[in-house]
Amino acid sequence: MKTLNEIDTTAKRASKAAGFSWGIAEEIGKSIESLELFGLPGVTNLNLYLKKIKKNHPEKLNKIEKENRLKNKELCPIYCGVTFLDKCRQLETLQSIKYYNVSYPLLILPFISKVSELLGKKILIEYNKSSFLLNFNKFIFSKNLDNQVDSLAKEMRIEFLENKDFFSEENWKELYKLSEETFVEESESSKTKGAGAGFIDNE
C-alpha cells in the first residue's frame, strides 16, 4: 500500500513535470492525498489527466461567474478548483455555479471540499449521474459514482447549501423527549438549595 506521504510527493512532482507551477503542484499533491483518504480514485484520475495535458497545457478561466465555459475547450479541474478555493468567499454569494465541459471532474472535489470547511457550509456537486455532498472536509458522501473515472463532465453544478437541519422537527422533539429521561425530577428543596443563583437577581 502506498502511503499518503508518497501519494502527496509523487502527485506534486508529476504535476510539476506536466507543466503546473510548483505552487499549483503543491495544491495537487495535497488534493490527491485527500481524495485517496476519502476512498476516491485520485491517483488514477490524476494520472490520466496529466497524460492528457502533458503536451497541451490547459487554459485557465480568469473569472468565475454563475455559468462558466471555455469556447471549444475543456476546463481544467485543477485550475477551476484552485480558483474556486481562492475566491470562495466571493463565490458563496452566487449560491449555485455551473461549469461546462470539465475534464476529469473528480479532481475538482478536494478543492471544493476544502471550501466547505473554510466557509462552514455543506456543498453539493452534481455531474453526469453522480452527486457528492461535501461535509466540511470531514467526509464526502457520494451517490451513483459508477465509474472510477469520468473523463468529462458536460455540465457540473456546484451548490452551496444553507446551514439547516436535515431532520424534521417532529423527529427532534421525540428524541429530545427521550433524552429528558436522564433528568431528575426537581423538588422544592433542590430548586432553592441545589442551584447557583437565586430566583431573583437584580444586581
Residues in the site for other proteins, rule: CB under 8 A?
1-6, 21-24, 26-27, 30, 60, 62, 82-83, 85-87, 89-90, 114, 118
State the nearest-atom distance from the C-beta of 162 to other proteins, in Å.
Answer: 21
* Whole-angstrom distance, CA of residue 101 vs CA of residue 196: 63
Whole-number minimum distance, CB 24 to other proteins, in Å?
A: 6
Q: Which helix (H) or strand (E) holds 10?
A: helix 4-17
Min dist CB 19 to other proteins, Å, is: 11
Q: Which is nearer to other proteins, 3 or 179 (CB)?
A: 3
Smallest gap, in angstroms, from Cβ of residue 20 to other proteins?
Answer: 8
Q: Which is nearer to other proteins, 30 or 98 (CB)?
A: 30
Give the DSSP letter of residue 68. E
Nearer to other proteins by C-beta: 27 or 150?
Answer: 27
Task: List all residues 6 or more positions away from 150 whose beta carbon is below 8 Å from its beta carbon.
Answer: 104, 105, 106, 127, 128, 130
> Measured between alpha carbons, how far is 113 from 99 in angstroms, rounded to an integer?
17
Nearer to other proteins, 23 or 198 (CB): 23
Looking at residue 161, the DSSP 8-state letter turns out to be P
The distance from CA 75 to its chain's CA centroid, rounded to whole angstroms, is 19
